[in-house]
Amino acid sequence: MIDRFLAGADWEEAPQAMALEKPYRDILAEARACVAQLRAMEAGAEADAGEAERLALDLFVRTPAIVNVMLNYKICVEHGLPLHPTVYYELAEARRYRVDHPLAELERANRLYRSSIELARGACRLDRGWEAAEEEFRALLPHELLRFVYTSGSDRYTWRASEPALLSSLAAKIRAGYEPDLLIAAAHGSIMPALLLSEYLDRPLYFIRFSMFKRMDEAPIVSLSDEAWLSSFKEGRVLLYDEDLAKGTTLELFTARLAPLFAQARTACSIRHAGAALRPDFVARVWWD
């Protein structure tokens, strides 16, 4: 697992490596190289500790991109938005464009989106054969997506919430009080930590986009395709996760929309600011900042 190489990282300030602006094909290629080198180190190949940590950081900050771009693709197809290699269209623009994507494209978008979550989790696990899985995944992508330019910034709160030790502690608290059948996280900010949290919990993972501050979403973007896939868990227990609670509005609205779809629902976050009105069921750390 990637976490063994991240034990000595600084989790107070986000690394510069977190700031990315690269085509999706480059993200995949670079992740592929990192996985191969880290797996060799894990198997006992000689390696400098600093180089191993650098590679792990490079891989860890790229794992959200694997999912993020595919979630954007899925939303564009479902809501009639264009597929453009450099433009991230907002949902409000759907009324303007009204692109009629064929049903086959919708099915492909959802299938590839779910595959991207498993691919990102496999990267975190440093799976044997990950390179073959990445190659198969890449071969199925529309050409526009390979050229799509993924951009991210150095977000200190998402970074702090992604600390493996913190997530391991959160997972232990969850296991002691709840046994979720599924983890649903609010994207985009929660993608990086949720990938590790789902591994620690050993549970299926799904993301629903709800980005109130970066993408100005007014509500969680839940499509009929999402509800159809989630329906197989409707009699089960779900864990709803947001990585960082300042006021708690995001997780509160996220829960209000998604909890009714399941028999049981609990909430969790990595970091809850002490002034937040919302108190999730499971919290790794409470602090003032």
How much is the pTM?
0.92
The predicted pLDDT at position 46 comes to 65
Residue 225, judged by CB atoms within 10 A of its CB (0-12, 13-18, 19+), counts as: middle
Class (C level, CATH) for 157-287 = alpha beta
Model confidence pLDDT, tens digit, residues 154-167: 888 899 999 999 99
Q: Are 155 and 233 in contact (CB under 8 A)?
A: no
Q: Are 55 and 37 in contact (CB under 8 A)?
A: yes
pLDDT per residue of the chain (289 residues) written in tens, 0 to 9: 999 999 888 998 889 999 999 999 999 999 999 999 999 888 776 667 788 999 999 999 999 999 999 999 998 898 887 776 667 767 666 566 676 777 788 899 999 999 999 999 999 999 999 999 999 999 999 988 999 999 998 888 899 999 999 999 999 999 999 999 999 999 988 999 999 999 999 999 999 998 766 666 778 999 999 999 999 999 999 999 999 988 888 999 999 999 999 999 999 999 998 888 889 999 999 987 6
R_g (Cα) of the chain, nearest Å: 18
Q: Are strands 244-245 and 20-23 parallel, antiparallel or unpaired?
A: unpaired
Neighbouring C-beta atoms of residue 151, cutoff 10 Å: 12
Q: Structural domain boundaries of the chain?
A: 2-152, 157-287
Instruction: Give the whole-angstrom CA distance, residue 232 versus residue 225.
Output: 12
Structure tokens at 63: 């794992």
